[in-house]
Amino acid sequence: NGNPIGGDDFGGAYAATIQNDLLAIPTLSIVMNTDDLFGPTGIYTNSTNGGVEYERATSVELIYPDGTEGFQVNAGIRIQGGAFRRHDLSLKHSLRLLFKDEYGPTKLNFPFFGEDAVDSFDTITLRMESNDGYAWSGAGDQPQYARDAFASRTLLDMGQVSPHGNRMHLYINGVYWGVYNPNERPDASFAAMYYGGDKDNWDAINDGAATDGNLDTWNTMISLAQATASGSTATRAAAYQRLQGNNPDGTNNPAYEDYLDINNYIDYLLVNFFGGNVDWPHRNWYAARERGPDSTGFKFHSWDAESTMNLFGSNINTNRLNESVEAAQPYSYLKNNADFRLEFADHAHRALFNNGALTPEQAILRYEGILSEMQDAIVAESARWGDMHFSTPLTKAEWEAESQSVIDTFLQGRTAVFVNQLRAAGLYPSTDAPVFTQHGGVVPSSGVPLGMSASAGVIYYTLDGSDPRASNGAPAGTTYSGPVTVTPGTTVKARAYSGGVWSALNEATFEAPNLPGDYDGNLVVEQADYLIWTSTYGSTTDLRADGNNDSVVDAADYTIWRDNLGASALPPVQVYAAGFESAVSPAAPEATTGVQDSVAYVVAPSTSAAAPVASASPAGQTVTGSAAKDQAVLLLLSQADDLLLADDFDWASGLEPGSAVLQEA
């Protein structure tokens, strides 16, 4: 309650919710011999000691507040961590569970981190979030219990393997010990579970020391990376490919081993650079590589990325692009290689543009999702540890204020700042990447026209997923001269080339909708789909109308169509009448030139004979147009005059064929 002599300094605000707060997340209960913890040779008493000598037996029980079945397992337990093992820094310490046959099962077989993670574990780390929690006095009122999770989950969202984590209340022998962050430990066992192979054949490295295997392949990788930074252009290019187990032309050489997973490494660097991680790369990192000719190179995994996003001197302008030690040592050589810089730029563009993982929208959404896990549990953590370093306890109020501050003063603006930092460092080109009028997503089976634009230079593109730039730097794609039709399954890749400088790669994949009953693939469930069903009823070869995928068109497929009649996967568009003085004829060449820069649709529901598709004009005049039953209107937006052209369609009233309409802002 924050008052050592009794009373409540917070007017009962937190006392009123504490019972529910203790049920907001699952509970992990640890029960063991008290002397093994707090006796003269106990692991908590001697928290700075480690290894097997300071490992004790414990019982671990997972309890879900909603009654979902958890587990009870016997295991070993140790104190985990570095500096924060010390009692003078924190009385709350991280722990590590180890599953060994001397205690019980050799693995915990349970979906501890949900369906996206593996369900078998040799060990689990119970992180107390040292720098980003109440444990560290230097964090002041800034603890979020979220920054490390943000880094790890960002890497997951970028398609990389990264430790999964969650939140749990921890009890030790029945005493509440606060909120902990159970995490996968990215050691050899972790690597083998996610990438394959035998854990005994993996080298795993933590902060420059081998936790599994040895440093031999690490040292070889560093030497190969160093070779990419010196010599002629051709020599550097060949060394870059050699590092990846390739011939100079980029084709695989079976006689060469792959020593570095470039795609993984770049994304790992981007996350740490973006967050402004000031307690890295000299520590707080893991990497692992499978030994042998089938290896795909060292993979890096996020770890303890707490000193980021406004904490410990990190801020929106923090620039870590000049780091060169330990986890950043390969980067310090590779950044001098032109091929690496362009590949780095490609990854940066994917993450920092087009709703990528590091755009403000996605970053904020991810961060808010992590915060929601602590929204109620933070009250219990505050009651347990909020007064560890302060006479007036830190509470949920400070936590909420810092949450908003991270969003407002870091995540909202960091992307733009970071792009400028990358450009200044030569890691993002001066030539802007092309922009697509539709950046991937759902398209009808008949396809849609895709426009491309660039601020400067010539656009080269491909539709087969290949790079429009050849490995020797020459154009390898088609020169863009106008909209191209893209259909489901198409991957478009494009670069701009200006003044001898290639842009980063812009790429997008287009897909078919998962719209039950849409048997003709035009993104609308309508009468035409019914006609396909009737014409193929009973067929086991023409399965266009096989809605339930049972290899025959039957009555069940009619039911699917009927139940979804009128559904649409087309983006909704609101349109306004521009007035007949702006009307143009779609048949006139001058009217259609340049209008196919982007595509939108208006769909009339199949449930009525006519439906309004235009509403009040900006001036307030109501002009209603109707679409005939089951028809869709294709609207082509001209970037030049912001007009939408209603093409090849007879309006029942109000608007004439070819009338121009304005899209709602």
Are 169 and 229 in a shared domain? no
DSSP state of 407: I
Q: In this structure, is residue 520 part of a structural domain?
A: yes
H or E, element range at 494: strand 491-498
Are 213 and 250 in a shared domain? yes
Let me know: does 290 contact 191? Beta carbons within 8 Å.
Answer: yes
Are 505 and 518 in a shared domain? no
CA 556 to chain centre: 38
Q: In this structure, is residue 429 part of a structural domain?
A: no
Q: What is the mean pLDDT of the chain?
A: 86
H or E, element range at 120: strand 120-121
How high is the pLDDT of residue 637? 31
Let me know: does 36 contact 75? Beta carbons within 8 Å.
Answer: no
Write down the pTM of the prediction: 0.84
CB atoms within 10 A of CB 404: 10
Task: Please tell me the distance from the alpha carbon of residue 280 to that of residue 301, in angstroms, as a whole number.
Answer: 13
Q: Which residue in 162, 165, 206 sits closest to 183, CA to CA?
A: 165
Final residue before a domain boundary, out of 511, 528, 549: 511
Give the burial string for 441-451 (b: 16+ CB within 10 Å, else e): ebbbeeebbbb
Q: In this structure, is residue 432 part of a structural domain?
A: no
Tokens of 544: 């266009």
Let me know: does 644 contact 635? Beta carbons within 8 Å.
Answer: yes
Tokens of 226: 């160093």
Which parts of 353-487 are beta strand (E)?
A: 435-436, 441-442, 448-450, 452-453, 458-462, 478-479, 484-486
Q: In this structure, is residue 407 part of a structural domain?
A: no
Are 23 and 108 in a shared domain? yes
For residue 482, give its domain range.
440-511
Are 599 and 655 in a shared domain? yes
Tokens of 558: 């009619």
Final residue before a domain boundary, out of 492, 511, 530: 511
Give one DSSP letter per residue of 18-65, joined into a string. HHHHTTSS-EEEEE--HHHHHSTT-TTTTTT--SGGG-EEEEEEEE-T
Are 351 and 482 in a shared domain? no
In DSSP terms, which residues pair with 232 in a beta bridge?
none
Q: In this structure, is residue 448 part of a structural domain?
A: yes
How high is the pLDDT of residue 76? 98
Phi-psi category of 245—alpha, beta or left, where left has phi over 0 and alpha has psi -120 to 50?
left
Which CATH number do you get for residue 541?
1.10.1330.10
Q: In this structure, is residue 333 part of a structural domain?
A: yes
In DSSP terms, which residues pair with 258 in a beta bridge?
296
Q: Which residue in 305, 228, 302 sits closest to 259, CA to CA?
A: 228
Q: How many domains, the chain?
A: 5
* Cis before 449? omega within 30: no
Cα–Cα distance list, 26 to 130, 169, 170, 374, 425 (Å): 21, 6, 9, 12, 45
State pLDDT tens for residues 18-56: 999 999 999 999 999 999 999 999 999 999 999 999 999
Tokens of 40: 């003269």
Q: In this structure, is residue 397 part of a structural domain?
A: no
Q: 3-state DSSP: the chain helix, strand, coil percent, rounded to 5?
A: 25, 20, 50
Are 562 and 478 in a shared domain? no
Let me know: does 97 contact 72? Beta carbons within 8 Å.
Answer: no
State pLDDT tens for residues 487-519: 999 999 999 999 999 999 999 999 988 889 999
Task: Please tell me the distance from the alpha carbon of residue 581 to that of residue 510, in angstroms, as a whole number.
Answer: 37
Amino acid residing at 611? A
Are 240 and 335 in a shared domain? yes
Are 386 and 345 in a shared domain? no
Q: In this structure, is residue 195 part of a structural domain?
A: no
- CA torsion, points 477, 478, 483, 489, in degrees to nearest 10? -50
Q: Which stretches of the chain drop beneath a pLDDT of 50? A: 1-2, 572-665
Are 275 and 353 in a shared domain? yes
Question: What's the longest Cα–Cα distance across the chain?
Answer: 93
Are 471 and 518 in a shared domain? no
Final residue before a domain boundary, out of 511, 528, 555: 511
State pLDDT tens for residues 128-187: 999 999 988 989 999 999 999 999 999 999 999 999 999 999 999 999 999 999 999 999
Are 616 and 563 in a shared domain? no
